[in-house]
Amino acid sequence: MKQKQLRIALRNCGVIDPERIEDYIAKDGYLALGKVLTELTPEATIEIIKKSGLRGRGGGGFPTGLKWEITRKVHGDQKYVVCNADEGDPGAFMDRSVLEGDPHSVLEAMAINGYCTGASKGLVYIRAEYPLAIERLKIAMKQAREYGFLGDQILGTGFCFDIEIRYGAGAFVCGEETALIHSMEGLRGEPTVKPPFPSESGYLGKPSNVNNVETYANIPVIINKGADWFASIGSAKSKGTKVFALAGKINNVGLVEVPMGTTLREVIYEIGGGIRDGKAFKAAQTGGPSGGCLTVKHLDIPIDYDNLIAAGSMMGSGGMIVMDEDDCMVAIAKFYLEFTVEESCGKCSPCRIGNKRLFEILEKITQGNGILEDLDKLKNLGKVIIDTSLCGLGQSSPNPVLSTLDNFYDEYIDHVTYKKCKSKVCKSLMTYIIDEEKCIGCTLCARNCPVNAISGERKQAHYIDPEKCIKCGACMEKCKFNAIFIN
Amino acid sequence: MTKITSLTELKKLRDSLKEKMESYSLLDHPDSIIQVKVAMATCGQASGARPVFDYFKEELEKRNIPAMVTQTGCMSYCYAEPTIEVTIPGKNPVVFGFVNTRKADEIIERYIRKGELPDGVIPVNYETVISQ
Ligand SMILES: Cc1cc2nc3c(=O)[nH]c(=O)nc-3n(C[C@H](O)[C@H](O)[C@H](O)COP(=O)(O)O)c2cc1C
Ligand code: SF4
Ligand code: SF4
């Protein structure tokens, strides 16, 4: 049987010892670099990347070859190759896995980029919370220097290139390329207006080619196997594969790498082994806090950059969080907004203040105090934030709200009009009730209630005081007669 | 370490390393040896891959079974960490999930010694590109 997964970026992950360069060399490591340096001009190499159709895996999906060409054409006495290993998307761990499992593939690709763009220096921006990835990167860099794949006169040619590591403190916004560059410069990790793009004016004002870890990991294979081979994989406008970090209510939590154009159904049911405990699939969040949710009606669309945008979500960096019938979509939207409010750098008002207001409205709704008008407010405010924010964080932060409003409007109505949370997540909207018919008065619940909200005589039906109840669920768990239920 | 100074030299090195690595899993080759790979990325280590790695190293030596125990990155079966892959010369690699030291003992005694497959085998569900 043909497998659903195809590994390009993860080709060596879990196969080689990441701390032994010899393992990497045995798998054709640094061959692409050697080939490029001795047999191809920078222009010809860029042409291969352009023809391959590779697009950035960090979120935006910008054509990689074009970015390299732009960086090459800009004049500068010094240029930089930057690797974005910030990976701030909650639930995502693709880039960490690549760096921990196959660090040389990223180093090799950065050197190839240096040759193409005319840069002699590379910088890996990585969050300090990734100590193992950092350690393995350092080992890899040392070994690459010993073999002469980094440093002066690489592989006997005149090309000189070396790489340094820069640490981030783990702010989501520092994954945005301009903020990332400022953070590396020792300034506050705040975005600035584009243009100028980093390719024109980046680190220390010099042309800097910023690409994501996974984007780089694809490069050596494209050089070795050719642009046509790569372009034969995937869908019309999205070539190659994409790594997803599959998480949430799914049986096989893990990393998957599938050709672009694979459907959500294949990822969830065939690779992911279906929803946990046989529950029903409700939604999958892609693109993290900047993305949206895909629902049952999206199960059969081929996943690629353009289809996800058309479906109201986006590819993002590859986080995929699966939700089942027990998840409340209003609460999910609130979760992401809480994250954004925390992570907004605060530089511009729409994002700093607007997201806070969005969050407050959602909180009001989940507490049972929402009114119909709030739903319009969410929509209008969300659109204003998207239109007026400075950077990609604010420009996408309302997406989880807007997409849940689009796909699960009835759930919002349940919360607002009927004050009900069907998934039984929003505590303020739940009441614990004892069924008088079923209760035999064993007193077990009353003895387990932490706030003494349950009263009743022995051998007689008990009663929960809704004023006192804090909805902890302890009584329901303890009752042996299923006499307690949630309304 | 001598530096590699040309593409030809690199290819030569690759060929010899490749041949050596492939010979480990060949039947009746002087270099053939049992290989145990332990997934030691953050996810694996957080679930206890380190003691499993040490256990295989120590126990295989103690039990006089010549074997090569190495670490790898994430094998991608995060739901079944710690995961390991065992290759017996002449056979396809087998991946085991949820390996602790007790399971490791079972794998050594049953699979490595006798070739019987204990529970916990994870079917490989992907294809990998081969560069050339
Ligand atoms: C709020 C925000 C966070 C981002 N976080 C990341 C990240 O963690 N990793 C990443 O590679 N790109 C991230 N990006 C995208 C980068 O700005 C940039 O587009 C990307 O690194 C370019 O590389 P690529 O073309 O290879 O995708 C983020 C963008 C925004 C707006
Ligand atoms: S949109 Fe948000 S994160 Fe981006 S610059 Fe404005 S305040 Fe900062
Ligand atoms: S849900 Fe908790 S607080 Fe409420 S009645 Fe039951 S045990 Fe008491």
Task: Tell whether A179 and A98 lie within a shared domain.
Answer: yes
Asked if the structure places residue A425 within a domain, the reply is no
Asked if the structure places residue B108 within a domain, the reply is yes
Our CA-based measurement puts residue A87 at a distance from the nearest CA of chain B, in whole angstroms, of: 15
Tell me the CA–centroid distance for residue A279 and ligand 3, in Å.
26
Structure tokens of A92? 């995502």
pLDDT given for residue A39 in this prediction: 97
Asked if B72's CB is within 8 angstroms of A13's CB, the reply is yes
Task: Tell whether A248 and A216 lie within a shared domain.
Answer: no
pLDDT given for residue A1 in this prediction: 52
Among the atoms of ligand 1, which is closest to the Cα of residue A214? 26
Asked if B125's CB is within 8 angstroms of A3's CB, the reply is yes
Task: Tell whether A121 and A252 lie within a shared domain.
Answer: no
Specify the CATH number for the domain of residue B122.
3.40.30.10
Q: Using alpha carbons, select from A316, A294, A315, A296 the residue that is nearest to residue A306.
A: A315
Asked if the structure places residue A470 within a domain, the reply is yes
For B119, the domain range is 29-130
Among the atoms of ligand 3, which is closest to the Cα of residue A445? 7
Asked if the structure places residue B60 within a domain, the reply is yes
Our CA-based measurement puts residue B53 at a distance from the nearest CA of chain A, in whole angstroms, of: 13
Tell which of A184, A202, A231 closes a domain.
Answer: A231
The whole-angstrom distance between residue A207's C-alpha and the CA centroid of its chain comes to 27
Asked if the structure places residue A107 within a domain, the reply is yes
Q: How far apart, in whole angstroms, are the C-alpha atoms of residue A352 and residue A349? A: 5
pLDDT given for residue A91 in this prediction: 86
**Cβ burial, residue A351 (10 Å; 0-12/13-18/19+):** buried
pLDDT given for residue A134 in this prediction: 98
What is the tally of structural domains in chain A?
4
B90 lies within 8 A of chain A by CB: no
For A447, the domain range is 431-486
**Using an 8 Å Cβ cutoff, are A423 and A325 in contact?**
yes
Tell me the CA–centroid distance for residue A396 and ligand 2, in Å.
10
Asked if the structure places residue A141 within a domain, the reply is yes
Mean pLDDT, chain B, rounded, equals: 93
Task: Tell whether A280 and A360 lie within a shared domain.
Answer: no
pLDDT given for residue B66 in this prediction: 95
Task: Tell whether A173 and A75 lie within a shared domain.
Answer: yes
Our CA-based measurement puts residue A30 at a distance from the nearest CA of chain B, in whole angstroms, of: 8
ipTM: 0.95
B46 lies within 8 A of chain A by CB: no
Structure tokens of A238? 């999205």
Instruction: Give the confidence band of B132 by pLDDT, cuts at 50, 70, 90.
Output: very low
Asked if the structure places residue A465 within a domain, the reply is yes
Instruction: Provide the 8-state DSSP code for B123.
Output: P
**Using an 8 Å Cβ cutoff, are A307 and A237 in contact?**
no
**3-class secondary structure for chain A?**
CCCCEEECCCCCCCCCCCCCHHHHHHCCCCHHHHHHHHHCCHHHHHHHHHHHCCECCCCCCCEHHHHHHHHHHCCCCCCEEEEEECCCCCCCCHHHHHHHHCHHHHHHHHHHHHHHHCCCEEEEEEECCCHHHHHHHHHHHHHHHHHCCCECCHHHCCCCEEEEEEEECCCHHHHCHHHHHHHHCCCCCCCCCCCCCCCCCCHHHCCEEEEEHHHHHHHHHHHHHCHHHHHCCECCCCECEEEEEEEECECCCEEEEEECCCEHHHHHHHHCCCEHHHCCEEEEEECHHHCEEEEHHHCCCECCHHHHHHCCCCCCCCEEEEEECCCCHHHHHHHHHHHHHHHCCCCCHHHHHHHHHHHHHHHHHHCCCCCHHHHHHHHHHHHHHHHHCCCHHHHHCCHHHHHHHHHCHHHHHHHHCCCCCCCCCCHHHCCEEECCCCCCCCCHHHHHCCCCCEECCCCCCCEECCCCCCCCCHHHHHCCCCCEEEC
Specify the CATH number for the domain of residue A371.
1.20.1440.230
Task: Indicate which of A24, A251, A252 best probes the interface with B, i.e. most B CBs within 10 Å of its own CB.
Answer: A252
Instruction: Provide the 8-state DSSP code for B68.
Output: E
Task: Tell whether A222 and A246 lie within a shared domain.
Answer: no
Tens digit of pLDDT at every position of chain A (487 positions): 568 899 999 999 999 999 999 999 999 999 999 999 999 999 999 999 999 999 999 988 999 999 999 999 999 999 999 999 999 988 899 999 999 999 999 999 999 999 999 999 999 999 999 999 999 999 999 999 999 999 999 999 999 999 999 999 989 999 999 999 999 999 999 999 999 999 999 999 999 999 999 999 999 999 999 999 999 999 999 999 999 999 999 999 999 999 999 999 999 999 999 999 999 999 999 999 999 999 999 999 999 999 999 999 999 899 999 999 999 999 999 999 999 999 999 999 999 999 999 999 999 999 999 999 999 999 999 999 999 999 999 999 999 999 999 999 999 999 999 999 999 999 999 999 999 999 999 999 999 999 999 999 999 999 999 999 999 999 999 999 999 999 8
Instruction: Give the confidence band of B1 by pLDDT, cuts at 50, 70, 90.
Output: low
A30: Cβ contacts below 8 Å, ≥ 6 apart: A24, A104, A108, A144, A147, A149, A155, B10
What is the tally of structural domains in chain B?
1
Residues with CB under 6 A from ligand 3: A 432, 448-449, 451, 453-454, 464, 469-475
Tell me the CA–centroid distance for residue A449 and ligand 3, in Å.
5
Task: Tell whether A36 and A154 lie within a shared domain.
Answer: yes
> Cβ contacts (< 8 Å) between B125 and chain A: which residues?
3-5, 271
Specify the CATH number for the domain of residue A464.
3.30.70.20
Tell me the CA–centroid distance for residue A352 and ligand 2, in Å.
7
Task: Tell whether A264 and A316 lie within a shared domain.
Answer: yes
Asked if the structure places residue A272 within a domain, the reply is yes
Q: How far apart, in whole angstroms, are the C-alpha atoms of residue B33 and residue B112? A: 11
Question: Which residue bears the tokens 């280590």?
Answer: B45
Q: Is B17 helix (H, G, I), strand (E, B) or coil?
A: helix
Task: Tell whether A81 and A121 lie within a shared domain.
Answer: yes
Asked if the structure places residue B15 within a domain, the reply is no
Asked if the structure places residue B114 within a domain, the reply is yes
- Minimum-distance CB partner of A225 among B6, B126, B129: B129
Task: Tell whether A204 and A252 lie within a shared domain.
Answer: no
Specify the CATH number for the domain of residue A94.
3.40.50.11540
Structure tokens of A129? 């919370």
Task: Tell whether A347 and A479 lie within a shared domain.
Answer: no
Asked if the structure places residue A423 within a domain, the reply is no
A341 lines ligand 2 (CB under 6 A): no
Q: How far apart, in whole angstroms, are the C-alpha atoms of residue A102 and residue A219? A: 13
pLDDT given for residue B4 in this prediction: 95
Tell which of A181, A197, A231 closes a domain.
Answer: A231
pLDDT given for residue B131 in this prediction: 46
Task: Tell whether A55 and A97 lie within a shared domain.
Answer: yes
Residue A178: CB atoms within 10 A of its CB come to: 24
As a whole-number percent, the residues of chain B with pLDDT over 90 amount to: 83
Q: Is B67 helix (H, G, I), strand (E, B) or coil?
A: strand
Tell which of A182, A212, A231 closes a domain.
Answer: A231
**Using an 8 Å Cβ cutoff, are B119 and B98 in contact?**
no
